[in-house]
């Protein structure tokens, strides 16, 4: 293992985070606070409770997940797309590093950043609504697993994208709708049964459900199914990354 | 003896792109330990493709490359850690400082931190006073030197310089040559590609010419200089001559088709050029001269004639 290379890539990416602190940390926190004001306070005051939890409190795990998912993808995809775009990728490709080390550096940094962000949003939420976390270790497990999985997914998008438009396309057209329809703001059980069945095809439902369970022990689907689906998606991303490096897809010609 | 074995050995290397374009065709090339090797060739000849494959940026279609005996695919870690690469395009980060980007390169190549070495590299390349500047604020020539500094940050044994002086002014070019010579003196093997024949003449120990994906010549510069040393004396005759008289056979003269010009090839480095005796023998043979002209073949001529032949 070339640990020094992993460290170099990781620190390089983290330095980028600190350089763009406003964009990377402050703006997601501001937008999440807006969600609390609009959904939690304004609209939420008309909705009494969901599954025995006040609405404002109910949406906290979903909001954290919303940010973690989108930020993981954005960070990781940009992290690998940018060197491709400006050409500095030559140095990574010509260095004595394995694919695993490259992924560890980039995905590790992207995941770290979104975990920090998730915790900051959680702290912000505590200012608006009373919070209690029943299974903190499970909460962290879901947070880390989701951050890693979606950073890997973002890494794949960053390699696939050959323009800034494509870089934005998947997060905007696929991930954001899936997250909004994945039960961030409601319980899947509130839907009519037909829609409920369709919703269960959405992988994000399982992430949010599991994450919410770790807070309040309320879930749309069983916790083991949530873990299983998350690990399954992680495995799919890992296979894709393995294939990318094996074939040199969009990296080497 | 290991030290006599080539430091880079390219065997039967071919590269065909997905489009079907054959960029390299059966390349065989050995780079000697400690030499400066200049790879010359027109645009699109395959210079950059060849370097990219050796350095791990592109995949080959066929053939094998070893670096210090290490296969570039099977032992990529050992092979790549010996190589520093300065690509042709100015690919740099924008918002990093010079110090940070050069230190990053060293880490990427798995070397422990060594501020003293990085300080030396930056000083050698006259970048020391810019070490805290963001790269985006530097001029093109400085960015080029930052890329060289990155390549040297991990103390490579082999340095690839792809068009190192393209777009660099004359003064800076001379400065860069000095850096390259100092590196060679410290035992680094250097492979450079260039458009400037002058650069190859000035720097290289050996010269290779690549065209249309094939190596068409590899020769010691001394050997090429001998060809360079050849001069041609062209004599314009007052009267047309049908054939060269027997008495002048020893000079191997070339008679033009119209019978009005005679060319004599001679070696300026020889003890005797033979010009004086040729002129007196011509007079004795009754051939009168109206004018004369001498020309010297340059590396450029050799190069052009090599790459023009179909």
Phi, psi of B230 (to 5 degrees): -70, 135
The single residue listed with the structure tokens 């060269």 is B244
pLDDT tens track for A177-191? 888 888 888 888 888
Report for A87-96, B171-180, B200-209, B253-262: range of highest mean pLDDT:
A87-96
Which of B17, B56, B108 minimises the CB distance to A253?
B17
Is B297's pLDDT higher than 80? no
Sign of the Cα pseudo-torsion (B104, B106, B108, B112, in order): negative
Interface probe, candidates B105, B107, B162, chain A, greatest A C-beta count within 10 A: B107
Position A81 scores a pLDDT of 94
Position B298 scores a pLDDT of 67
Inter-residue contact B285 to B256 (CB < 8 Å):
no
Is B281's pLDDT higher than 50? yes
Position A131 scores a pLDDT of 86
With a CB cutoff of 8 Å and minimum separation 6, the contacts of B6 are B30, B31, B32, B33
Position A38 scores a pLDDT of 84
pLDDT tens track for A201-244? 888 999 999 999 999 998 888 999 999 999 999 999 999 999 99
Contact A87 B77 (CB under 8 A): no
Closest CA to A251 of A107, A91, A111: A91
Question: Which residues from chain B sit within 8 angstroms of residue A88, using beta carbons?
Answer: 91-93
Gap between the Cα atoms of B232 and B297, Å rounded: 8
Question: Which residues from chain B sit within 8 angstroms of residue A102, using beta carbons?
Answer: none
Beta partners for residue A72, in sequence order: none
CA-based nearest residue in chain A for residue B108: A5
pLDDT tens track for B24-69? 999 999 999 999 999 988 888 899 999 999 999 999 999 999 999 9
The B-side interface with A (CB below 8 A) comprises: 17-18, 55-59, 76-81, 83, 85, 87, 89, 91-96, 100, 104-112, 150
What token pair was written down for B176?
């860069």
Contact B96 A2 (CB under 8 A): no
Position B2 scores a pLDDT of 45
Question: Which residues from chain B sit within 8 angstroms of residue A92, using beta carbons?
Answer: 108
Is B227's pLDDT higher than 90? no
Which of A11, A15, A96 minimises the CB distance to B81?
A96
Contact B77 A2 (CB under 8 A): yes
Contact B96 A87 (CB under 8 A): no
Report residues of chain A scoring pLDDT below 50: none
Is B1's pLDDT higher than 60? no
pTM, whole model, 2 decimals? 0.85
The single residue listed with the structure tokens 């230190």 is B103
Is B310's pLDDT higher than 70? no
Position A55 scores a pLDDT of 86
Percent of chain B residues past pLDDT 90, beyond the cut = 54
Question: Which residues from chain A sit within 8 angstroms of residue B112, using beta carbons?
Answer: 4
* Largest CA-CA distance found in chain B, in angstroms, rounded: 80
Q: For the beta carbon of residue A223, count every other beta carbon within 10 angstroms.
A: 17
What token pair was written down for B189?
């093997």
Gap between the Cα atoms of B219 and B87, Å rounded: 24
Contact A2 B57 (CB under 8 A): no
Inter-residue contact B191 to B147 (CB < 8 Å):
no
CA-based nearest residue in chain B for residue A5: B108
Beta partners for residue B31, in sequence order: B8
What token pair was written down for A223?
């916790």
Phi/psi zone of residue B188: left (φ > 0), alpha (ψ -120 to 50 degrees), beta?
beta
The single residue listed with the structure tokens 């970048």 is B127
CA-based nearest residue in chain A for residue B148: A91
Contact B59 A252 (CB under 8 A): yes
pLDDT, greater one: B86 or A32:
B86
Q: How far does CA A147 lie from the centroid of its chain?
A: 5
């Amino acid at each position: 293992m070339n640990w020094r290379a992993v460290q170099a890539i990781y620190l390089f990416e983290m330095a980028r985070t600190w350089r763009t602190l406003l964009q990377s940390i402050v703006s997601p926190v501001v937008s999440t606070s807006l969600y609390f004001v609009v959904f939690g306070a304004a609209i939420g005051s008309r909705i009494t409770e969901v599954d025995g939890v006040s609405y404002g409190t109910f949406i906290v795990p979903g909001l954290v997940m919303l940010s973690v998912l989108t930020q993981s993808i954005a960070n990781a995809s940009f992290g690998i797309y940018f060197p491709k775009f400006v050409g500095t990728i030559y140095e990574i490709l010509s260095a004595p590093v394995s694919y695993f080390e490259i992924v560890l550096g980039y995905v590790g940094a992207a995941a770290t950043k979104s975990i920090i962000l998730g915790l900051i949003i959680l702290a912000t939420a505590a200012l608006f609504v009373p919070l209690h976390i029943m299974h903190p270790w499970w909460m962290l497990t879901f947070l880390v697993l989701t951050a890693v999985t979606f950073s890997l997914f973002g890494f794949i998008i960053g390699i696939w994208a050959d323009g800034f438009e494509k870089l934005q396309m998947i997060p905007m057209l696929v991930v954001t709708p899936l997250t909004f329809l994945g039960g961030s703001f409601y319980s899947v059980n509130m839907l009519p049964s037909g829609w409920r069945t369709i919703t269960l095809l959405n992988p994000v439902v399982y992430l949010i459900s599991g994450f919410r369970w770790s807070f309040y022990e309320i879930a749309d689907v069983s916790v083991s199914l949530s873990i299983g689906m998350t690990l399954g998606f992680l495995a799919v991303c890992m296979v894709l990354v393995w294939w990318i490096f094996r074939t040199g897809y969009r990296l080497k010609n | 003896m290991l030290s006599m074995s080539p430091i880079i050995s390219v065997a039967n290397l071919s590269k065909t792109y997905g489009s079907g374009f054959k960029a390299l065709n059966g390349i065989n090339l050995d780079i000697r330990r400690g030499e400066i090797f200049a790879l010359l060739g027109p645009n699109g000849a395959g210079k950059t493709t060849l370097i990219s494959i050796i350095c791990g940026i592109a995949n080959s279609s066929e053939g094998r490359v070893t670096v210090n005996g290490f296969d570039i695919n099977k032992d990529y870690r050992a092979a790549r850690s010996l190589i520093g690469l300065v690509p042709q395009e100015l690919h740099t980060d924008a918002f990093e400082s010079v110090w940070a980007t050069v230190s990053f390169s060293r880490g990427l190549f798995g070397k422990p931190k060594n501020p003293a070495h990085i300080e030396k590299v930056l000083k050698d390349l006259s970048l020391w006073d810019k070490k805290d500047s963001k790269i985006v604020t530097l001029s093109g020539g400085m960015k080029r030197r930052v890329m060289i500094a990155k390549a040297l940050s991990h103390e490579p044994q082999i340095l690839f310089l792809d068009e190192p002086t393209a777009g660099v002014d004359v003064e800076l070019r001379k400065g860069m040559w000095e850096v390259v010579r100092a590196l060679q003196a410290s035992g680094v093997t250097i492979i450079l590609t260039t458009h400037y024949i002058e650069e190859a003449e000035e720097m290289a120990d050996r010269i290779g010419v690549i065209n249309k994906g094939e190596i068409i010549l590899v020769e010691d510069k001394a050997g090429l200089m001998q060809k360079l040393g050849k001069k041609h004396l062209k004599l314009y005759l007052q009267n047309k001559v049908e054939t060269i008289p027997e008495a002048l056979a020893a000079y191997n003269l070339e008679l033009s088709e119209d019978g009005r010009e005679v060319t004599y090839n001679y070696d300026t480095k020889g003890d005797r050029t033979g010009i004086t005796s040729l002129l007196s023998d011509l007079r004795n043979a009754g051939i009168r001269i109206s004018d004369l002209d001498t020309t010297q073949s340059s590396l450029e001529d050799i190069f052009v004639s090599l790459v023009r032949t179909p």
